[in-house]
A and B are shown apart, each in its own frame.
Chain A
Amino acid sequence: MSRSAFAVLLACAGMLGLPHPAGAHVVAGARVFPVTLTFDDPGVGDEVTLPQIVVQPGAGGQTETSIQWEYDKRITPMTALIYNQGYDILHTPGAKTQTGLENAFLTGKWQAITIPSTESVVSLGVIQEFSGGPATQAVGGDAFGATAPTIYAGQGGGFLPWPMLRPLAVTGEVNYVIANRRLNSDEDNGGNPNALTAGLSVQYSIPYLQSQVKDYHLPDFIGRMIPLVEFTWYTPTEAPASGQPSTLTIAPGVIYLADTYQVGLEALIPGNRAAGPHVGAILQVHFFLDDLLPNSLGKPLFP
C-alpha cells in the first residue's frame, strides 16, 4: 500500500495503490445500498470481499495488479470491525517483478443513524493503517501508518416527486487522515502530510425501480443491476505536500446484486493529471455472510 491509506485510495495510477473498499450492504427501508468498490458504504454487516482485483497501468509500461480481500465482522447489530489487506504485483518492463502484501487496515465502525422511512443511513468510524515490512514498501507501501476519523452517509431517492428518479441514491464518505509520522520539511523522513479524502457514489437501482416504481418485467439478470459512478478524491491539508498533489478518480461501472453476493466491475479513470496516465479496472466479488451463514459467521458476536 502506498503513501497514506487514503492516498492509496485516490492515488496515481500505476504508481500508487488503490482503494480499500471496506464495505457492507446496507438496508434502510426499501433501499439496499450495495457495497461500493472504491470506498466504503454507509453501514455495517457480516461480509467478505474475496477477491477484489485491481489492475492499474502506469507510466512506462508499468502495471500494478492488486489482489485484495476484506472481512467485516459485526460486534453488535450496529457496530463492526473491518479488516482489509491485499497482495500487490508490480510489473516493470526490464526489471524484476516486485510482490508483497499491502499495509493492513482495521476499521471500527458504528452505524449511528438508520431511518427506514427516508432511506437514510449515517455511520461513524475510525480507520487505522498498519505499516508493513520491506516487501510491502517495495510495492509502494507506506513506511508508517495513519489514523482516519471517518463519516459515512447514504441517502435513497424514494422521497423524490418524480417516480423514475426514485431509484437514485447517493452515498459518501469523508476521512481526515492523520499520518503517524508527519512529513518533514525536507520530505525525507518517510512520513506523509495529513490529508482529506472523500468518496461519492451516484447509483440507479434497477431492483428498486422494479419493486417500488414500475415492474417492467425485465430479465432477472438485468433486474439485479445497479449502474453507478464513484468519485474518489484526495488532497493534502498541509505543507509540505509537493510530492502528493490532489487527485481525483472517476469510476463508472455496474454492480450485480444477487441475494447472497454481489459482483461489481468499474473502470478507474484518472480525473486529473496527478491521478495517473491510464485507465484501470476494478473487479469485486463480495459475499453477504449475514445471508449466507445467518446462524454462525453471519450474526453479531453480541446480538
Chain B
Amino acid sequence: MSRLIPILAAALLLGLAAASPARAHAQLRAADPAVGSSIAHAPPELSLTFSESVEPAFCRVTVTNSAGAPMNSAPLHIDPQNAKRLLLPLKALPPGVYTVTWHATSTDTHRTQGRFQFTVAP
C-alpha cells in the first residue's frame, strides 16, 4: 500500500491541475526592442510580451534615456489582440542607451518585475 501513496497523490494532483486553469507569474517572454539589443531605428512603441495575461491597471513600464528622462509619448496600454502584451508608445529615440523598467501584475495578482537596456545605434 505504501508504494501506492506517491502514485495516488500524483494522480490527485494532476487531476486537480487539469480541473483548474493554471495562472503563473507573468514572466517576460519577449520584448521589442529585444533585451540587450542594439538597433538602428527605434520602433514607435515598446512591446513587452509576458507568459501570462496581465492587468494593465496594475502594471508600470518606463523607458528612460541615459539622463533618466522618460521617453514615452502616451500611457501604457494592453494590446487589444493579446492580453499578454503591454505596449508603451515612445517618442522618437535618438541614438543612445535606454533602460526599460517594468512591473507586471498577472490576472491572478502575482507580481513580477524586471529591468533591461537596449541601444539605438548612431
A-B contacts besides A30-B113, A50-B6, A211-B27, 14 pairs, CB < 8 Å: A67-B6, A69-B9, A87-B3, A163-B36, A211-B35, A212-B115, A213-B35, A215-B30, A217-B34, A290-B110, A292-B22, A293-B22, A294-B23, A294-B110
Of residues 52 to 107 in B, which have CB atoms within 8 Å of A's CB atoms?
A: 52
B36 touches A214 (CB 8 A): yes
B25-37 CB mask vs A (1 if < 8 Å, else 0) is: 1011111001111
**B35 neighbours in A (Cβ, 8 Å):** 210-215
Residue numbers of A with Cβ under 8 A of B are: 27, 29-30, 32, 48, 50-51, 67, 69, 87, 99, 101, 116, 163, 207, 210-215, 217, 259-260, 287-288, 290-297
Which applies to chain A's interface (DSSP): helix, strand, loop or mixed? mixed
Chain B residues in contact with chain A, CB under 8 A? 2-3, 5-6, 9-10, 13, 16-17, 20, 22-25, 27-31, 34-37, 51-52, 108, 110, 112-116
Would you call A116 and B113 a contact (CB within 8 A)?
Answer: yes
Q: Which of A210, A287, A295 contacts B20 (CB 8 A)?
A: A295
A30 with B114: in contact, given A50-B9, A207-B27, A259-B24 (CB under 8 Å)? yes
Complex CA distance for A179 and B52, rounded to whole angstroms: 46
Q: How many A-B residue pairs have CB under 8 A?
A: 90
Query: What B residues does A51 contact at CB under 8 A?
Result: 6, 10
**How far does the Cβ of A70 sit from chain B's closest Cβ, in whole Å?**
11
B62 CB, min distance to chain A CBs, angstroms: 15
CA distance A27 to B103 in the complex (A): 13
A87-B5 contact in complex given A211-B116, A212-B116, C-beta closer than 8 Å: yes
Residues of A contacting B9 in the complex (Cβ-Cβ under 8 angstroms): 48, 50, 69
- The chain A residue sitting closest to B111, CB to CB, is A27
Query: How far apart sit A214 and B110, CA to CA, in the bound complex (Å)?
Result: 24
- Residue in B13, B22, B110, B112 whose beta carbon sits within 8 Å of that of A48 in the complex: B13
Residue pairs across A and B with Cβ atoms less than 8 A apart, 11 shown, are A48-B9, A51-B10, A211-B35, A259-B25, A260-B17, A287-B13, A291-B22, A291-B25, A293-B17, A294-B110, A296-B16
Q: Are the C-beta atoms of B6 and A288 separated by less than 8 Å?
A: no
User: What is the minimal beta-carbon distance from A89 to any residue of chain B, in angstroms?
Assistant: 9
Q: Which residues of A contact B112 (CB under 8 A)?
A: 27, 30
Q: Chain A residues near B51 (CB, 8 Å)?
A: 259
User: Which B residues are in CB contact (< 8 Å) with A27?
Assistant: 25, 110, 112
